[in-house]
Structure 1
Amino acid sequence: MTELFGTDGIRGLANRYPMDAELAFNLGRAIGYYNKNKKSKNILIGRDTRISGSMLEAALTAGLCSMGSNVLNTGIITTPAVGYLTKYYEASMGVVISASHNPYYDNGIKLFRENGLKLNKESEKEIEGILFQEKYKKIQNTRKTIGQVIALKEAGKVYLDFLVTTIPQDFARPEFKIVLDCAHGSASQIIPELFTRLKINFKAINNTPNGININQKCGSTHISTLQSEVLKEKADLGLAFDGDADRVLAVDEKGQIIDGDQIMTIYAHAYLREGRLGNNIIVTTHMSNLGFDETIQGMGGTVVRTDIGDKHVLEKMLEMNSWLGGEQSGHIIFLRYSPSGDGLITTFQLLDALNKNNERISVQAGRMKKYHQKLFNYRISDKKYLRNSNALQKMDKEMQKYLGGDGRSLIRLSGTENKIRILLESKEEKKIMECQKVIEKYVSHF
């Protein structure tokens, strides 16, 4: 059976399989069938600003309604908001139509359980089985089994009110100027609304979505736009969101990038000393900088690493009873408030920590001394050959001669493409350059 769900839902080029209207319609029917015995017949749907979103939303809605499910439509809203609102409105499932940080011509579909957590792999497999085996055709549809579409006009306000409750009670309005890059995405309206409500001095950029400008030379994947704006405005801080606002990166007053590792470092510095970080364990992935581990350990905390992806981070956080976890990309989970990475929750936790630390932002971010780190992507002809040979082990063994004891390598085969990804890290940049020569010698034969 074909695998439809990838590492984070379904994703692909819009208007082509699997991101076409036919698949979305049949997926809606499959979801309706999957939820047929649930207490609630309501399915909540939200989407980002890309042009294909309304088409996929309409097709998915039609499929759901044909199976008797009611659709609670939030309209344009962030991915973490869909998780929260699914639980708030007691829907049996939540669906978000978004390709996150990807360009407008991509789109994706992610599913949430009734408790606001992303659907697990077993449930995704079950829905795939219903879809490909067309089990939904076993139900005899009648005019009595047609669901309704209910527009949730207050969904944005409900979510905004929730965000306000996550802000610490002793939060002091920052006295510095902030530039917000909204990536022409799903938070383009709610971010300025929230900052206005809290009377924070800000300037919003890239907050006029037109369906095709989402993530286009803006947002967290094109942060140079924000860097220039921060310097031009002589701002103290810049914040860059992605298209669905589940992550955020920052820029300090000097125009330097503050990544997810550094954001967690700033937060940890403020809260570890107050004993307000649970059991002082922070979960991150194998992609995080080794300097992060050293810095957190120096503050009295413990770093636990896990596989790449927010699902793995959350699983490890729950296992370790950790309150804070995240990725270098700016996808950070504050578990006491939400089981999902949320760029807006992260924003206000960061602002609170910056105030408590009471130092220039560049100084706070600079507490973490980064190792030199470089990620290489190479296209290869045959992944199966590499899996079944010892070529990767030989290459890695040769690289270790240069890296020594103060560096590391991480070699991964892409799950979706014929590509190999290699992360190199060392205190000395010249060691990475030597390892690059080793990689290129081997990759030419892959």
Structure 2
Amino acid sequence: MPTLMVSISGIRGIVGDGLTPEVIVKYTSAYADFIKQGKVIVGRDARITGEMVSKIVVGTLLAKGLDVVDIGIVPTPTVQFTVKILEAQGGIAITASHNPNEWNALKLLNATGQFMSPEEHEEMKTFLSTEPFYESWQKIGKYSEHFEAIDNHIEAILKLNLIDAEKIRAKKFKVLLDCVNGAGVYSVPKLLDKLGVEYIKMNCDKSGIFPRLPEPVPENLSETMKSVKENNVDLGIVVDPDVDRLVLITDKGEPFGEENTITQVVKFIVAKTPGKVVVNLSTTRAVEDVAKEFGCKVFRSPVGEANVVKRMKEVDAVIGGEGSGGVIYPSLHYGRDALVGIALTLQHLAEKDITLSDLKKSLPEYFIAKKKIELQNVSPDEIINSLIFKYKNQNINTDDGLRIDFADHWVHLRKSNTEPIIRIIVEAKSKELSESLAEKYLNEIKELV
């Protein structure tokens, strides 16, 4: 895997290898040239390299003449929310999200608090090749701290029309909370306290060291699931290091399913405020099923938060997100936000007066299988174009690789932006069918190679 990855959301790398002080200065300087003037919000997740990276970022921005508002260790959605609330010209969230301890990253935000559009990203990149210009001593930016950012974010969630904190408090929920020692440690307990939720902490110290692989997928959560069952709680709440993904564990200690996070939130929202829904092309078909119950239309975007948000704005969606546990609720802000996802989930359970395992049973059941194939001496585009031609008479979408919808399943074939591989994602009504179909498409690609 490359040790520095560049995408429209920013840069990500292994600290001291791909992500060096020189690289941080170079990209922060180009970002400052893109922003031009005004103030930039800077926040970071809890990993131990965050302080070092933050000081380099802050110093560079100040030297470029931009004002910096430092909001400390916070979720990425709190950085996004604060850019919007303080009417800043941009924001940098210092986090490598679900990557392991040795990684860190700069997530670069525009004046709306969202990830830069492809056009904005291209404009920023033009400044990478110019010699950095720094201001003289009397023109450097001003530094300030704003450590109320998390409290302001939580207060805004509690004021949402669909959140009735009293109703949630009356349920006296008891949960197990796993924050993987990330930024969730500083934010999720505050939200749960406000909602009267009793919680048992797991992986919630402030060491900044992730005790397990931080991606909140079932294979990394065996101890957490066991603990949910042993402690006899109503549900498990798991967030990734920068708190933009929400993963739930049922009262039986079983995975609720990442795809079901967005499915149940969509069901809750459109039942109350019918409207358009946006998810990415790799997200479960269950979203269409629950939206259809309330006469609502689902639109699909290419994978990636920036793409989902762009589509949400185009169609004026009431809710959106991604199947990795990402909930985007525009009534709060346009960004994946586990904090608002937690509040909406607890509200849903309180109003339905059911357990999380019963809520899971009430949702359409699908199974996703994923495979990938590494390509040598052939371009991923060439393979995908061959498959587009082969399936041209089917129900296809080519906005992001190739998605083909059949009556009994769908498949999404997309190339990686960082490696010569094609990812194969298949969803069907049974695990056996999704696995066998994923194998079928893998073999088709092998034949083309």
- Please state which band the TM-score falls in when normalised by the shorter chain: 0.7 to 0.9
- In structure 2, distance between residues paired with 1:219 and 1:388: 31
Tell me whether 430-439 or 203-212 shows the greater mean CA deviation. 430-439
Q: In 1, distance between residues paired with 2:307 and 2:268?
A: 26
| Per-residue deviation, residues 362-401 of structure 1 (Å, max 9, x unmatched) | 121212232332010222214526516865458879x99x
Alignment partner, residue 232 of structure 1: 230
State the Cα RMSD in Å: 2.9
Q: Deviations over 1:219-268 (max 9, x none)?
A: 45723332111101111111110110011011111122223442344334
Counterpart for residue 198 of structure 1: 195
TM-score scaled to structure 2, two decimals?
0.87
Structure 1 residue 444 displacement after superposition: 4.7
Given candidates 307, 324, 332, the residue that maps to 2:319 is 324
Using the TM superposition, give the Cα deviation of residue 112 of structure 1 relative to its aligned residue in structure 2, in angstroms: 1.7
SS in structure 1 at match of 2:62: helix
* Residue correspondence of structure 1 range 63-142 to structure 2 within 5 A: 63-134=60-131, 136-137=132-133, 141-142=135-136
Instruction: Supply the distance in 1 between the matched residues of 2:368 and 2:138 (Cα, whole angstroms).
Output: 60
User: What's 2:379 paired with?
Assistant: 384
Give, in whole Å, the separation in 2 of the partners of 1:68 and 1:288: 42
- The aligned amino acid for 1:143 is W
1:113 deviation in Å?
2.1
How many residue pairs are counted as aligned between the two chains? 432
1:294-327 superposed Cα distances (whole Å, 9 cap, x missing partner): 3432343332222111112112222222111111
1:62-89 Cα shifts (integer Å, max 9, x gaps): 2112122222111111101111112323
TM normalised by structure 1 equals: 0.87
Check conservation: 2:68, 2:142, Cα contact below 8 A.
yes
Distance 1:389 1:244 in 2: 33
How far does residue 409 in structure 1 lie from its aligned partner after superposition? Answer: 1.8
Q: How does 1:155-304 map to 2 (within 5 A)?
A: 155-166=149-160, 168=162, 170-171=164-165, 172=167, 173=169, 174-213=171-210, 216=213, 219=216, 222-273=220-271, 276-279=272-275, 281-304=276-299
Unaligned runs of 5+ in 2: 396-404
Secondary structure at 2:201 match in 1: strand
**SS where residue 226 of structure 1 aligns?**
helix
Measured against aligned partners, the alpha-carbon deviations of 1:45-77 in whole angstroms (never above 9, x if no partner) come to 111112222222121222112122222111111
Instruction: Give the partner amino acid of 1:112.
Output: L
Deviations 1:182-222 (A, max 9, x none): 12111212211222233211112111132331763674572
Task: Tell me the equivalent position of 1:62.
Answer: 59
Give, as a single letter, the amino acid of the residue that structure 2 aligns with 1:70: D
2:399 alignment partner in structure 1: none
Give the counterpart letter for 2:158 in structure 1.
V
Letter paired with 1:33: D
Distance 1:293 1:389 in 2: 26
| 1:17-36 pair list within 5 angstroms | 17=18, 19-36=19-36
Per the alignment, in what secondary structure is the counterpart of residue 238 of structure 2?
A: strand
Alpha-carbon contact 2:40-2:66 (below 8 Å) kept = yes
- Give the letter aligned to residue 30 of structure 1: A
Q: For the residues of structure 2 that align with 1:388 and 1:406, how far apart are their CA atoms? A: 24
Q: Which stretch shifts more, 223-232 or 154-163? A: 154-163
| Counterpart position of 1:151 | 145
SS at match of 2:7: coil
Task: State how far apart, in whole Å, the 2-side matches of 1:34 and 1:438 are.
Answer: 46
Q: Secondary structure at the match of 1:420?
A: strand
Equivalent-residue separation in structure 2 for 1:272 and 1:385 (angstroms): 38
Cα-to-partner distance string for 1:23-55 (whole Å, 9 max, x where unaligned)? 21233333333333x3x2x22211111222222
Greater shift after overlay, 7-16 or 412-421?
7-16
1:284, distance to aligned residue in structure 2 (A):
1.4
On the 8 A contact 1:102/1:215 being kept in 2, the answer is no
1:86-123 deviation line (CA, Å, top 9, x unaligned)? 23233221111111111111111112223322222222
Query: Runs of at least 4 residues of structure 1 off by over 6 A?
Result: 394-397
Contact 1:44/1:94 (8 A) holds in 2: yes
Letter of the structure 1 residue corresponding to residue 12 of structure 2: R
Task: Decide whether aligned partners of structure 1 residues 64 and 145 sit closer, same or farther in structure 2, where only a CA change above 3 A counts.
Answer: same
The answer for unaligned runs of 5 or more in structure 1 is none
CA contact (8 A) 1:27 1:60 kept: no
- What is the Cα deviation at residue 404 of structure 1? 6.5
Q: Secondary structure at the match of 1:166?
A: coil
CA contact (8 A) 1:49 1:186 kept: yes
Asked if the contact 1:49–1:211 (Cα under 8 Å) also holds between the matched residues in 2, the reply is yes
Between the aligned partners of 2:385 and 2:29, the Cα distance in structure 1 is 46
From the superposition, tell whether residues 117 and 245 of structure 1 become closer, same or farther in structure 2 (CA, over 3 Å). same
Task: State the SS of the aligned residue for 1:245.
Answer: coil
Distance 1:165 1:113 in 2: 25
Larger mean Cα displacement after TM superposition, 119-128 or 260-269: 260-269
Q: Where does residue 13 of structure 1 map in the other structure? A: 14
Counterpart of 1:25, as a letter, is V
Contact 2:83–2:89 (CA<8 Å) still a contact in 1? yes
Query: CA, structure 1 residues 176+43, in 2 after alignment: closer, same or farther (shift >3 Å)?
Result: closer
Contact 2:114 2:306 in 1 (8 A): no
Does the Cα contact within 8 Å between 2:84 and 2:111 map onto a contact in 1? yes
Shift of 1:329: 0.7
Question: More deviation in 25-34 or 334-343?
Answer: 25-34
The separation in 1 between residues aligned to 2:389 and 2:433, in whole angstroms, is 18
- Structure 1 residue 413, shift from structure 2 partner: 1.4
1:381 is paired with a residue whose SS is: coil
CA gap 1:437/1:164 in 2 versus in 1, 3 angstroms: closer
Aligned-partner Cα distance in 2 for 1:109–1:389: 31
Task: Name the SS of the counterpart of 1:104 in structure 2.
Answer: coil
CA contact (8 A) 1:26 1:63 kept: no
Shifted more, 190-199 versus 78-87: the winner is 190-199
